[in-house]
Amino acid sequence: MVMAADLVAVPALGLRAVHVSDGPPLRWVATSELPDPTPFLEGGELLLTTGLGTRGWSDQWSAYVARLAAAGAAGLGVGIGLTYSRLPEVLVEACRAHDLTLLEVPRETAFVAVSRAAAELLQDQEAASTRLALDLQRRLTRAALGLDLRPLLERLAQLLDATVVLVHRDGEPADGPFGAGTGGLDLGLVRAEVAGIKGQGLGAVSTTARDGATTVVRPIGLAGRPELYLAVSLPGPIDEPQRSAVSTAAVLLSLAVERRAERRAAERRLRGRALELLCSGDLRSAEVLLEVAESGRPVPERLRVVRMTGPEEVLGDVLGRIEDDLADDGVLAGTVDGDLLVVAAPTRVAGVLAAATGLRAGVGRAVAAQDARRSAETASHALDRTTATSPVRRWEDVADAGPLALVPEALGQEYAASLLAPLDTEHRTTLAAFLRHHGSRGAVADDLGIHRNTVRNRLTEIERLTGLDLDDPAARVGAWLALELAAEGPQD
């Protein structure tokens, strides 16, 4: 950037710097003889004056300089030889007090020459900034040739002498930080800025200056909800080439993330189909697909199938966590028929369930790889028996609970209601006693304290109302299930 004091280095102007500040950079040169020119300033101007409107001033200089500083002026240049033979000491002291750059302009230097020199400096600076921005863009583009984001992040940190990190939506680092000053990165600030802009979509940008550093946070992605954010912390203020470099890096990262997402989606489709084949009993075809999708990752020789269900967004998050954290442990995960299907060695199932926060999960029996179908079936039965209070069920737990646990709750209740609907309480009590005494009508009569003929008549009526043949063992099992399910009632 160009500062007002940089004009002192132009020999032809003969300017003398009386006081130099680190104030606003120079944007243009303005000329005014008004006692208060600030209504006509936009900020960043070097104001030139011969002091015609200030003749005889003393205490007024302090307020004049204060107004210029408040308006964001880049500096004040006073021509000598007309109103003043030398700069008033009160003016000099006021510029020092308000830290406003003060230049002395000799009588022989035309104000238009100062304006022309400032324009040339600004043009040179703009050209240099453009060249630098293009150079940074070329270097960043070369670093972004592959799908690995790390080289691009490291290159950005190196080129800008900055600290760079890629973070998730919750502000936790996904990659990095990179750069020499990683210890000084304020991750708390990054989290706060991500939280502030993540609801604003892909066009949001946050720039924060704090403690002598500038932090820029930008979302990464080309469509949909951004899942990653680029955070760059630079020492001091950010200039246009640096801002352009951050924007370029964000675009390149978005392209790389999109390419990775497309590749991941293709791999997920193949892996999902492979799991579907595996769980249908076609181990060989599943291994062929996994050779393509997973670079030959083997199916565990002994495995369990875990089937999970829940909200689509949560299923996607859990799938991503399993892919990122458990793939190296031989865990295979994919979407099949709207559920998340996971195949893992028995010793890895605990890690899978730990990642399944917010989902219901059924864990199938441990089997050899060629028997994966049996594990998948038992995982589905276990999933059917999950509840809000028991979101995870293992096949062993279901099997130990007896045959009633194998009947899906809604289906079992519907079966019991339809079979027992024609029977009143007396019929049901008699039927339960008949089943309890293994079909002995005499034992039923003694148990209920009624005559055997009454028992016989009631059983005949039950057969007529339900269509059951109570001498058929299968019918007795069905009646027993209905009575047990009706007694168990709906579960939460």
Structure tokens at 123: 């043009």
Answer whether 310's CB lies under 8 Å from 274's CB.
Answer: no
| pLDDT at residue 373, rounded to an integer | 95
Structure tokens at 255: 């392209």
Rounded to a whole number of angstroms, the CA Rg of the chain reads 40
Question: What pLDDT digit, counting tens, does each position of 352-389 carry?
Answer: 999 999 999 999 999 999 999 999 999 998 998 888 88
> Domains, the chain, ranges and CATH?
4-119 (3.40.1390.20), 144-258 (3.30.450.30), 300-406 (3.30.70.270), 409-488 (1.10.10.2840)
Burial (0-12, 13-18, 19+ Cβ within 10 Å), 388: exposed
Residue 263 pLDDT > 70, yes or no? yes
3-state secondary structure of 143: helix
Residue 457 pLDDT > 90, yes or no? yes
What single-letter amino acid sits at 149?
A: L
Average pLDDT, the chain: 87
Helices 60-70 and 89-97: crossing angle in degrees, nearest 10, is 40
Mean pLDDT of 47-75: 93
Question: What pLDDT digit, counting tens, does each position of 385-442 carry?
Answer: 888 888 999 998 877 656 666 666 677 788 888 899 999 999 999 999 999 998 899 9
| pLDDT at residue 257, rounded to an integer | 82
DSSP string over 190-214: HHHHHHHHGGG-TT--EEEEETTEE
Question: What is the CA 437 to chain-centroid distance, rounded?
Answer: 63
Answer whether 325's CB lies under 8 Å from 355's CB.
Answer: yes
Query: CB neighbours (10 Å) of residue 232?
Result: 28
State if pTM tops 0.95.
Answer: no
Mean pLDDT of 97-108: 95
| pLDDT at residue 154, rounded to an integer | 84
Question: What is the CA 409 to chain-centroid distance, rounded?
Answer: 37
| pLDDT at residue 492, rounded to an integer | 41
**Residue 147 binned pLDDT confidence (cut-offs 50, 70, 90):** low
Question: What pLDDT digit, counting tens, does each position of 162-191 carry?
Answer: 898 999 888 888 888 988 766 667 889 999
Which are the contacts of 210, defined by CB distance < 8 A and separation ≥ 6? 186, 189
Residue 130 pLDDT > 70, yes or no? no
| pLDDT at residue 405, rounded to an integer | 60
Question: What pLDDT digit, counting tens, does each position of 319-347 carry?
Answer: 988 988 888 888 999 999 999 999 999 99
Of the chain, the percentage scoring pLDDT greater than 90 comes to 52
Helices 111-143 and 150-160: crossing angle in degrees, nearest 10, is 160
**Residue 141 binned pLDDT confidence (cut-offs 50, 70, 90):** low
Answer whether 340's CB lies under 8 Å from 307's CB.
Answer: yes
| pLDDT at residue 327, rounded to an integer | 80
Between CA 236 and CA 210 the distance in angstroms is 9
DSSP string over 169-183: TTS-EEEEEESTTGG
Mean pLDDT of 45-74: 93
**Residue 279 binned pLDDT confidence (cut-offs 50, 70, 90):** very high
**Residue 491 binned pLDDT confidence (cut-offs 50, 70, 90):** very low
Most confident of 95-104, 196-205, 414-423: 95-104
Which range is least confidently modeled, 53-62, 155-164, 186-195, 400-409? 400-409
| pLDDT at residue 159, rounded to an integer | 81
**Residue 80 binned pLDDT confidence (cut-offs 50, 70, 90):** very high
